[in-house]
Amino acid sequence: MIRFDAVSKNYPNGTTAVDELSLELAEGGITVLVGPSGCGKTTTLRMINRMVEPTAGTVSLRGQDIRDVHAPELRRGIGYVIQHAGLFPHRTILDNIATVPLLLGWSKKKARARAAELLELVGLPAEMATRYPNQLSGGQQQRVGVARALGADPPVLLMDEPFSAVDPIVRAELQAEFIRLQKELHKTIVFVTHDIDEAIKLGDNIAVFRTGGKLAQFDTPERLLAHPADDFVAGFVGQDRGIRRLSFVKAGEVPLREGPVLTTTTAVAQARATDEPWILVVDDARRPLGWVEAAAIPQGGTLADATLTPLGHTFSLVGDSARAALDAALLSPSRLAVGVDVDGAVIGVVDAYELSAVIAVAKAEAAAGTTDGGDA
Ligand SMILES: Nc1ncnc2c1ncn2[C@@H]1O[C@H](COP(=O)(O)OP(=O)(O)OP(=O)(O)O)[C@@H](O)[C@H]1O
Ligand SMILES: [Mg+2]
C-alpha cells in the first residue's frame, strides 16, 4: 500500500537521516517505526506526505509515485498526528477538529456536525466542544489531535509519538482507545515511537531502525521477539523478551492439569489424603473460592470449615494470554495458576515451570517460519 524503494534522505550538512530504505506497509494495518533518537523515524514518516522529499529512491502510495501527486491533494488522504497534539490555542475544540473539513470547503454546519461525531468517536464528552485546548488535560488534547487527523476520513494516518507526552496511565488508556478505534476504522497507520513496549502492543508489523537511518529488521512483533535479526535488535527489544513473547501465546494453548481441585463438601480426611501441599477449593459450579494449605486444615469436618487463602487472580482460557497465566502463577500462594472458562469455572492448573515449555513450543513455531537465518 505504502512502498519505499531504496529511499534515502541526505541533508546538505552530511547527515544521512534515512539510508536506502526499502519497505512495504500493508493496507489497513498498523506499522510501527521504532528505534533510538535520531534514527530517522520522523524523516521516514514525513516522506510519506511529502513534508520531506527523498534524496533518492521512490515512495509510492497504492502503486502511484507520490511525486506525481500534488502535495495538498496527497495530504488530503493522509491524516497527521504529532506529540503534544499541536492544536490551535485560540480555536475551540470543535473548530480544531473541524479544521480539515473546513479547508476542504465543507459548510460550517456540516464541518461542525462531523467534528461533533469525531469528538464522540475518540471518547470525549460533548461539553468539551466549546472549550479551548489549554482547558483540557494532555491526554484529552491528544484525543482531539487524533479526532482532527480523522477529519476528512483519510485512508492513511501518520502518527509521530502521539502518546509520548502523557503519563503512563493515560498513555495506556490512549493505547487501548486507539486499538478499539482501529478495529472500527481499519486505517492504514504508520506509527512512530521509541518505546518497544508500545510498538509491540500496537503494531501489526514493526520496523526497527538503527542510528544512521538503517532498517535493522521488519517483522511482526511476535517474530521480532522470537528472532531478533542481530545483537542491536536483541538489545533493543530487551532482556525480558521471553516474557513479552508469552503475550502472543493464547492461554488456550497452555497445557493444564487437573490439579488439587476439591469442593467445599469434601471431607478433610479425604483432602489430606491427596498429599498435595495446597488444595484449590471450588463451589458447586467449580468456581474457585480460594486455596487451603493442607498442613493448616483442622481435623475433621469438610473443606467448608477451612480458612481460605485468597486466590490471587485467575486467567481465562478464552481471551487471556500465556503471559497472564504466568503472572497468575507467580502471584498464587500455591505457585499454581488457575485457568477458568467463560463462566469462571476451573478447567485446571499450571505452574511457571510448566509454562516455560510453552515458550519452547512458541520458539520452535517461530523458527519454522523464519526467513532471517534464525535466532540471534
Ligand atoms: N533539516 C535537517 N537538517 C539536517 N539534519 C536533519 C534535519 N532534520 C533531521 N535531521 C537529522 O536526521 C536524523 C534523523 O532525524 P529524525 O527526526 O528523522 O529522527 P527520529 O528518529 O525521529 O528521532 P527522535 O526519536 O529524536 O524524534 C537526525 O540525525 C537529525 O539530526
Ligand atoms: Mg522523531
Beta strands per DSSP E along the chain = 2-10, 16-25, 30-34, 56-61, 64-65, 78-82, 156-160, 188-193, 205-210, 214-219, 261-263, 278-282, 288-293, 315-316, 336-340, 346-351
**Confidence class for position 375, pLDDT limits 50, 70, 90:** very low
**Confidence class for position 376, pLDDT limits 50, 70, 90:** very low
**Quick count: other Cβ atoms within 10 Å of Cβ 300?**
9
Asked whether the whole model's pTM tops 0.75, one would answer: yes
Cβ of 261 closer than 6 Å to ligand 1, yes or no, is no
Cβ of 38 closer than 6 Å to ligand 1, yes or no, is yes
pLDDT tens for each residue of 229-247: 999 999 888 877 777 888 8
CATH homologous superfamily, domain 2-239: P-loop containing nucleotide triphosphate hydrolases (3.40.50.300)
Nearest CA to ligand 1 atom 13: 17
Ranges of each domain in the chain: 2-239, 252-358
Q: Which residue has the cell 492461554?
A: 251
- Ligand 1 centroid, distance to 66 Cα (angstroms): 22
Mean pLDDT along residues 347-373: 72
pLDDT of residue 370: 44
Cβ of 37 closer than 6 Å to ligand 1, yes or no, is yes
Angstrom distance (rounded) from CA 4 to CA 15: 20
Angstrom distance (rounded) from CA 90 to CA 112: 17
Compute the residue count for the chain: 376
Cα–chain center distance at 345: 29
Is CATH 3.30.565.10 the classification given to domain 252-358?
no
Rg, the chain, Cα only = 26
pLDDT tens for each residue of 179-195: 988 998 899 999 999 88
What grid cell was written down for 313?
487472580
The answer to whether the beta carbons of residues 253 and 326 sit under 8 Å apart is no
Strands 56-61 and 156-160, bridge-based pairing: unpaired
Cβ of 19 closer than 6 Å to ligand 1, yes or no, is no
Whether the pLDDT of residue 65 is over 90: the answer is: yes
Mean pLDDT along residues 288-305: 87
